[in-house]
Structures are given as structure tokens and as C-alpha cells.
Structure 1
Amino acid sequence: MGNYTYGYRRILPLLQEAGYHMAEATLCRLMSELGVQLAMYNRPKNDRYSSYKGTIGKVARNLLNQTFDATNPYTVLHTDVSQIRLGNSTWAYMSIILDQAKVLAASISQSPNKLLISDTLKQLEDKLPEGVNPIIHSDQGWHYQLDYYREKIDSLGLTQSMSRKGNCLDNAPMESFFTFSKSNRYLKSRAVRT
């Protein structure tokens, strides 16, 4: 367990193998009482990346409002940047654009800068079919407020939409994607080492 990647989902089967049987809720309660927590979700607050810097450019209206039904491809795209751990003290930033659950563009950089976002948009430009004009939805991160970003998505025929401050529900596909991919990455890296 030296890699600090064992959450209750990985501990429960090991306990069952050892002859200890309990419900997930019981294990979660015991882990909470003992202060056992997955390290990937328990880093210092000052080590956490936040793209929100206040209003430094233009904040777009929220066109989704949790009621927009996007069942057809290229209707609503979701985008975000997240910090990922590459090693014990090495971090990188991942910029993703999703169409429903399909990744259309992905870039990784050591810095969450203009080049990272521009590269992601360039990949999207190469994959967008002609004649589509989807909404592109993000949080209110600083890079999504700047002129270069808004000009580029406008040139691609995209309509900008942003989640309300402090409410990530409209961008739930991105939040789910990052949570799943980070958890899956840790599970895979552990499986390769064993």
C-alpha cells in the first residue's frame, strides 16, 4: 500500500480474501474513523489547481442551465483543464474537449497556459465536421474568458457557454471524466507494478 492508491473499493476485496466480510458502508465508516483516505484526493489545499481567477475577461451566459438535452453528436461539447499527478512530486495539466463521452481533443502540458488551450482547440478544429455549430461549455476559468479563446471558438462556429460560479453541475460530463480517468490511471499504474 506504499503507493497510497487504495480506496475502499480496492481494500474491500483484499479484506474478503483475508476472511473479513463487511458492507462497503461499514468499511467507509471504519476508514473515516481511522483517518484513512486516498492520498490522490487528500493533498494540501495550496497544492490544488484552480483555474478561477475572478472575472478577467468576458463571462459567457450559461446556455445549458442543467436542462439542455444533447442527445445528438456535436450539439454540446464540454471542456475543462485539470491537474494530474505524473509522479510523487510531478504535476501536469490536461485540457480535454468532450462530445458526450467521446474525447475529441486532448493536450497535456507542464503549465495551464495559452499554448495548452490553443493546442486543444487546434485538435478540435481538425475533427469538427463541416456544417456543425455546437455549444462549447466550460467553467469560468480564466483561459475561457480571454479574447484569443473566444475569437478562436467563434471562428470555428462554436457558441460559448459557461457554468455558474461555484456550480459544476452543468459541466458534469467533464467532472465525471476527470474523476474516472484519474481513478482509472491510479488503478492501472498499480496493476502494472504488481
Structure 2
Amino acid sequence: MSDERDEEIAALRARLEEIEGRKPEPVPVALPVAKKSSGFGKGFFGCFGVLAAIALCILTLAFCSAWNIAEDQRLGEIGQSRSGWRPPEGFVLTAADRGGAVGTKWFEPTREECGRGRATCAGLEVISEQGCSRNLYVSISLLDANGANIGWTNDTAQGVQPNQIARLVFRSYQPDIHTTRIAEINCY
């Protein structure tokens, strides 16, 4: 009822102003004002923006981590560590599981180093860029003629100084050992 009355009043004003020769004044109308978002990530699309930013950060960290791992695995191909250290001639640069870069070189142990009995022995010389003042631990996998893993053995050394060669001898009584490969190196 008040809408009809307002329309009627507005029409009468317009008629009166027309008679008096004045231009009709516009009737003020209240317009709804949109509220501004007062916080970061408000609303449906804001949440997606925040989630997208978080996902981008996670992907960036994963990419950088994968790049460092791949770079460490290529140490042997490159021939030097990130710091520029290179092992002596004949050694292969290897990324240790713990303790930085080391150089490794297989050797044939003497009878004295291998010990008595029917043990199968393998020797590995290890040199470290930073030294292994507390412990040098190396484990190797034992492989048969088909490449199947048939066991493992390990050896340790303590107090290895930077650029000092440690001679490790691995013994096993496992029959049918054809070859070995390094499984783990920790130098700390």
C-alpha cells in the first residue's frame, strides 16, 4: 500500500513542477552497496587461490629436492663434489648416504687381510672429503651369477681423517658369490 502511495505522491510532484515550469528533481533512492572482503582468501574463489599458492610451494620444494638428489647421484659422472673436491686418481666419486662425498675404489685383499678359512673377501678403499671422525660404515650386497641379491656384509673404520684412505675388507661364507655392489655408506 505504501508503494502505491509513494508512486502517487511522486506523480503529483512531477505534475506540480511541470505546471510551475521547474524541472522535476530526482527522488533519492538508496542503492545497495557491495561489501568489500576484509580478509585474505575470503570467499569461494579466494580459498582456491590460497590452495593453489600452497600447492605451488609444495611442488617447488619437491622439484628442488629431486634436483639435489639427482645431482648427488650424478657425482660420479661429473667427477667432483659440489665443493669442487675430487678423489685421487682411480677412485670413483660417490655420494654417501650420510656424510657428504667420498671416493671409492675396489681392491683385491691379501690372504692376510682376508683371514684364514674359506671366506670370500672383497676390499674397498674409501677416502672422504670431510673425514669420518666418529665412524665410517659401509655395507655391500652380495650377488650371484644371475644378479640376484643373495646376502650382505659390512665393515667399519673409526677416526678417518679428511683425505685419508680407509681400507675395508668384507668377508662372507655365503657360497656362489659372483660380484658385489655398495649398498650403503655412512661417514660421520
TM-score (norm 2): 0.28
The higher radius of gyration belongs to 2
Question: Which is bigger in relative contact order (C-alpha 8 A, separation at least 6)?
Answer: 1
More helix by share: 1
More strand by share: 2
TM-score (norm 1): 0.28
